[in-house]
Amino acid sequence: MRKKSLRITALFPALITAALAGCGGGGSSGTTTVTRTVTVQKQGGPAPTKAHFINSADALCRQFRAELDPLQHRLQGLPPPATRKARYADADVMRQYAHKLRREVVKIRQLRPPRGDEAIINQWLSTAADSIALFQDLAAAYEFADVHQVHVLTAESAARANTAKGIAQGYGFQVCGAGE
């Protein structure tokens, strides 16, 4: 059991960096985030312009960044776990992070995308949701020191998160999809 724990410990910094990189969590850039209230547009009425949709979604993402940044910094700043209790605590922080990301996706899904852009927005949000689900599975694998699953899920989660990030950036978002 000691050998497995040591392999997880050595993997910890790379695991967190890879898994968080594409999840949309912004790194610290030395700037202060200003949070403002966002009104979510309901499905009725005319479809918004692309610029309005981007501004609305980016405003939501900006709000969630204020919640996500402390958890992300906590995850990135954690030393490798030395005990089972520490692994459980770290996995719990991973789950909290995933839960907040999931809430972000749900809120953005409530926005009405511009006419003709529904498919790309759905692809972006579905890919992001897949990444979040994998990140939650990763937390469980990490908690139970399943080294093989940690490697597999880290790669899959990071790949999906980076795909979602690329879709968001390609669409024109400035905050959503921004990350290290």
Give the pLDDT of residue 30. 36
Side chain identity, residue 109: R
Nearest to 152 by CA among 141, 161, 136: 141
Give the pLDDT of residue 19. 52
What does the alpha-carbon distance between residue 32 and residue 18 come to, in Å, rounded to a whole number?
Answer: 24
3-state secondary structure of 66: helix
Q: What residues does each domain of the chain span?
A: 2-24+48-171
Per-residue pLDDT of the chain (180 residues; tens, 9 = 90+): 444 443 454 455 455 555 554 445 444 333 333 333 333 444 567 889 999 999 999 999 999 888 888 887 777 766 667 788 888 888 898 899 889 889 999 999 999 999 999 999 999 999 988 888 888 998 898 888 888 888 888 888 888 888 999 999 999 999 987 864
What does the alpha-carbon distance between residue 69 and residue 110 come to, in Å, rounded to a whole number?
Answer: 23
